[in-house]
Amino acid sequence: MARAYGLDAQLLAGFEVPAARMAAWDERAPSDGGPQIVNSKWRQRPVNERVAVCYYGGNFDKFGLRPAPVDATTAVQLRFERLVVTVSADGTAGFRSIGPARSLPVEDPAK
C-alpha cells in the first residue's frame, strides 16, 4: 500500500497492538488540533485482535490531502515525508495519516 503513495517508501518502524489499545490511541486528543475521534472503528473488533501500525518514510507530496504546511519560523513549505498505515488481522491495509515527519513522529501505540 505504501508504494502506491510513494515509489521510494521505506518502512521505518512497525508495531503490533491489540485492537482495544489501537482504539484508545485513535481516541486520544490529537496534538495538531485536528478533529478528535470519539468512537474508534477498532472498537468494533475483538479487543485482543492484533493490529499492525506501520510508519513509512519517503516522498509523499503528491498524495497529501491538503498542501503541506509552511514552517512558521522559516516560511519554507514542509514536505509530506511520513505515511502511517494500519493492517488488520485479516490483512486489510488502511491509510491512517500522512504529513511532515516532525508532525508525525514514530510512536508505539501501546505506550
pLDDT, one tens digit per residue, over 50-107 is 999 999 999 887 765 555 566 666 656 667 889 999 999 999 999 888 888 888 899 9
Length of the chain, in residues = 111
Put simply, whether the predicted model's pTM sits higher than 0.75 gets the answer yes
CA of 27: how far to CAs of 20, 46, 61, 68, 102, in Å?
11, 17, 27, 24, 21
Neighbours of 7 (CB within 10 A): 9
State which H helix or E strand residue 19 sits in.
helix 19-27
Neighbouring-strand partners of residue 82: 57, 99
Of 4, 110, 11, 2, nearest to 55 by C-alpha is 11
Check residue 101 and give its pLDDT. 87
Closest alpha carbon to 42 in 27, 32, 30, 54: 27
Question: Which of 9-13, 70-74, 106-110 shows the lowest mean pLDDT across its residues?
Answer: 70-74
